[in-house]
Each structure stands twice: as structure tokens, then as C-alpha cells.
Amino acid sequence: MVISVSIESENRDIENSMKETARALLKEKKVDVIIGYSKGTVPLSSAPILIRNVDEVERLVWNNLCYINLAKYLVPRIPQLIDPEKGDLNVGIITKGCVGRALIHLRTENQINLENVIMIGIPCNGIINRKKIEKEIGENEILELFTSGNEIIVKGKDFEKKFSFEDYVNELCKVCKIKAPPKIKELQGSYVGECQEVSSIDDNFEDLTEFESKPTVEKWNYIKDTLQTCTRCYACREACPMCYCKLCFVDQNKPIWFQKTTEISDIISFHLVRAMHLAGRCVACGACSSVCPVGIDLNLINRKLEKIVKERFDFTSGIDASKMPPMMEYSMDDAEEFMLEED
């Protein structure tokens, strides 16, 4: 039954069904506003968009560059989604797998009320790693990027390059098993469009073995090299659907735990503590890496977090609303092989 279809035609199907659902929802007045993606004005980007009436639905797109996690706009709700008189508007949200996971996880953390949110599920087919392509092209300007068949075509003034989609998709998307929003029984009525039944995920985390087997010094050097360009603009934090704290730990000044300078030790401590805070919460959307203006790849760290919680606590964020996240729970039987013991 498996028919091999190309990315290009998949995109078209996703986009069409998404538009149809969106139109129907708006027409039936089931939602007041739809959050989705529109075509970016710069070749390697997409712009989130708020759609309020049926004619605007045409502007919705799906093109493998929709890297922003839209759950960000719901936690906390941006003012445009709140009516001064009616209160919270009914929101339709274009939901790829990781947006769905984010919403479900945020619900477990009591951060969001999904009653007036309708998830327009789409079977995401992967997000292009735009940083990797940019690096590959180097000092040339990309003027156009589109998918044709199973290839990514990048065009500039006097060059045209083809990349295979499989290789240039985000590292997280390569191993992603939750393409459409996971279905949970607590939210039966909130789904429109595609969604997927997920009970548990099998993942062997093979992609991490190479890095993990490196000696400590090499790991340190790699991390140091990767992070040293960080400008501390906090785009990673602001794009992360899980970073909803009103006051981030780096901004606290009573007491000041970690400084905000761009010295390497401060940068590393920021990313280390942020990783700590995302343990068991990261939904593997890769938005942090996609938005980083200086091209830092945080996906490796995010993968590691997923691995730790999966192996230690058998937990995957955002697929099961009945399970508490590991850092909100405790158990007598946790493994403690890392504790110091007498010989």
C-alpha cells in the first residue's frame, strides 16, 4: 500500500487540506482566528500569520521552512488573541507534531487551557535545516529555495544547487516519530485534520553515539567552539514554547546566579542551565536552533535531554497527558548508579 510520494507533492497535499480545514472552521465560526504560517519575504524563512477571515486563508502555506513553534503564541497568549470584552478568543492553530506535543505538555504543566483551542493537525514532513544550507552556499546570496520532487533547489544570481531533502532536513526531524499531533483522549474534541495515535516511542538514539563516545576534552572543545559565537540575544529562549517563565533565571538579580556577559563560561552556564530546565520538557521542535541568528546548533543537546528522560524515566514529553513529567515527580525505584559508593 505504501506509495512513494515526493516531498513536493506531499507539501501540496498538506497545504491544500490545511487551507480547506481552515476555511471551513472560519466559515462555521468555530474559531475567531487561525495561527499559521505564511510565505516569508526572505528565501529561507516563513512568517507566522494570524488569519481572521476566509479570504486571507489563501496566504497560508506549508513549505518545510515553517520552523517556528506556534504554541509560543498561546503561552502566554499574545494580546491579539484576547478580546478586551469577550476574553480569550477561539483559536485554530496549524499543528505539526511538535506543536501538538508542546500544547499537550503545556497542558500537563497547567499553562494552557485547550478548551478554546482547535488543533488543525497536519502530518509534518520535516523542516529544512536552513543553517546547514546557508553554510553550504557560503558567501553567495540565496534568492530562492523550493522543493522539487525529493530535492531542495537553491537558486541564486548565478548558481543553482540541488540538495537531497533527506540529508538537509533538521537533525531532529530525521529521527522524529511524531509527525502529526499526538491524539490524547482528554482532548477528543479539539482535533481537526490529521492526528496520530502514539503510545510510546521506540528510539535507539543512534545519532548520539558518536558524540557520546568522544573523550571529555573533545566534547568540551566542541561545545565551547559551538557556543562561543552566542550573542546572548535569547532568540532561542524566546522561540522556545517551553520557556514561558516571566523572569528567566539569567535575568534574576536577587541573587545574581549567572552573569549575562559573552564570556565563554557565562555562555556555557546559560546553555547548561537552560538545558537543565528543559529536561523532560523539550518537545524536539528545533525552533531554538532554527532561529539562532549566528547559527548555533542546540539540537544535539536537545536530543541528549530526550535520551536521558527516555532511558531513565521512560518519558517522552507531550504524548501522554496522564503521565507527569519526570521532574515533577519522584520514585523510590529510580536508578542511582551515579551515586558515590564505598568500594
Partner 1 sequence: MKSEIGKLYIELNEEFNFYAPIKVKGNLEFKKILNPDDIVLDYYNSKVPPKEILFPKTDILFEYKTDGKNVTEIIERTDLDEKNIIFGIRPCDAHSFVILETFFAFGDVEDEIFLKKRANSLIIGIGCNTPRSTCFCTSIEGHPFMKDDMDIFLVDLGEKYLVEGISEKGKELMSRLKWLSDADRKDIKKARELYEQAEHSIETKLDLKDINKILDPHFEHPIWAEISDICIGCGTCSFLCPTCTCFDVIDEMDQYHNKGRRFRIWDTCQFCLYTLHTSGHNPRDSCIERCRNRILHKFCYYPENYNMLGCVGCGRCIQLCPVNNDLRVIIEKLNSIKTKKEEKVSA
Partner 2 sequence: MVTELKQEETLKDIWEPKILAFLCNWCSYAGADLAGVSRIQYPPTIRVVRVPCSGRVSPYFIIKGLLDGWDGIIVSGCHPGDCHYLTGNLVARRRFAILKELLEFFGIEPGRVNFMWASAAEGERFANLIKKATEIVKKLGPNKKFESKW
Partner 3 sequence: MHNPYIPKLTSIKDVVSENKVNDIKTLELEFQNDDDYKKFDYIPGQFAEISLIGKGECPIGIASSPTEEGTIKFTIKKMGTVTTGFHACEIGDIVGVRGPFGNGWPIEDMKGKDIVVIGGGFAFSTLRSLVVYLLDEKIRKDYKKITIIYGNRDSGEVLYQDVLEEWKKRDDIEVVLTIDREEKGWKGKVGFVAPIVKEVGPSSDNAVVVVCGPPIMIKTTIQVLEDLNFNDHQILNSLEMRMKCGIGKCGRCNIGNKYVCIDGPVFSLAELKNLPNEY
Of 217, 254, 322, 337, which lies in the binding site for partner 3, with binding defined by CB under 8 A? 254
Closest CA to 36 of 44, 48, 25: 48
Helices and strands in the chain: count of H runs, count of E runs: 10, 10
Tell me: does residue 246 bind partner 3 (CB under 8 A). no
CB of 109 to partner 1, least distance (A): 20
In the block, cell 564570556 appears at 263
Q: How far apart are CA 48 and CA 69, in angstroms?
A: 9
- Comparison of 141 and 341: residue with beta carbon closer to partner 2: 341
Q: How far apart are CA 37 and CA 46, in angstroms?
A: 6
- Comparison of 253 and 322: residue with beta carbon closer to partner 3: 253
Of 141, 160, 206, 343, which lies in the binding site for partner 2, with binding defined by CB under 8 A? 343
Grid cell of 222 as nine digits: 566542541
**204 binding partner (options partner 3, partner 1, partner 2, none; Cβ < 5 to 8 Å by kind):** none
Is the dihedral angle over the CA atoms 243, 123, 134, 43 positive or is it negative?
negative
CA angle 120–122–126, rounded 5-degree value: 140
CA angle 125–297–182, rounded 5-degree value: 35
Binding to partner 1 in span 52-71, by CB under 8 A: 68
Please, which residues bridge with residue 82 across strands?
A: 88
Tell me: does residue 49 bind partner 1 (CB under 8 A). yes
- Comparison of 9 and 262: residue with beta carbon closer to partner 1: 262
Question: What pairing do the DSSP bridges indicate for beta strands 142-148 and 151-156?
Answer: antiparallel
Stretch of 76-84, 105-113, 182-190, 260-268 contacting partner 2, by CB under 8 A: 260-268
Binding to partner 1 in span 174-233, by CB under 8 A: 225-226, 229, 231-233
Query: Is the Cβ–Cβ distance between 109 and 325 less than 8 Å?
Result: yes
**220 binding partner (options partner 2, partner 1, partner 3, none; Cβ < 5 to 8 Å by kind):** partner 2
Tell me: does residue 204 bind partner 3 (CB under 8 A). no
- Comparison of 119 and 267: residue with beta carbon closer to partner 1: 267
CB of 177 to partner 2, least distance (A): 22
Tell me: does residue 253 bind partner 3 (CB under 8 A). yes
Tell me: does residue 304 bind partner 2 (CB under 8 A). yes
Tell me: does residue 83 bind partner 2 (CB under 8 A). no
Query: Is the Cβ–Cβ distance between 127 and 170 less than 8 Å?
Result: yes
What does 132-194 look like in DSSP terms, one character per residue?
A: HHHHHH-SS-EEEEEEETTEEEEEESS-EEEEETTTTB-HHHHT----SPBP-GGGGGGEEE-
Q: How far apart are CA 49 and CA 315, in angstroms?
A: 33
- Give the N- to C-terminal CA distance of the chain in Å, as an integer: 58
Of 55, 136, 238, 263, which lies in the binding site for partner 2, with binding defined by CB under 8 A? 263
Grid cell of 75 as nine digits: 503561552
Please give the C-alpha separations between residue 176 and each of 140, 164, 179, 181, 198, in angstroms, as whole numbers: 31, 18, 7, 12, 12
Tell me: does residue 261 bind partner 1 (CB under 8 A). yes
Binding to partner 1 in span 127-156, by CB under 8 A: 134-135, 138-141, 143
Stretch of 31-39, 71-79, 251-259, 311-319 contacting partner 3, by CB under 8 A: 251-259
**89 binding partner (options partner 1, partner 2, partner 3, none; Cβ < 5 to 8 Å by kind):** none
Enumerate binding residues for partner 1 (CB under 8 A): 40-42, 45-50, 68, 72-73, 78-80, 134-135, 138-141, 143, 225-226, 229, 231-235, 237-239, 247, 251, 256, 259-263, 290-291, 293-295
Enumerate binding residues for partner 3 (CB under 8 A): 253-256
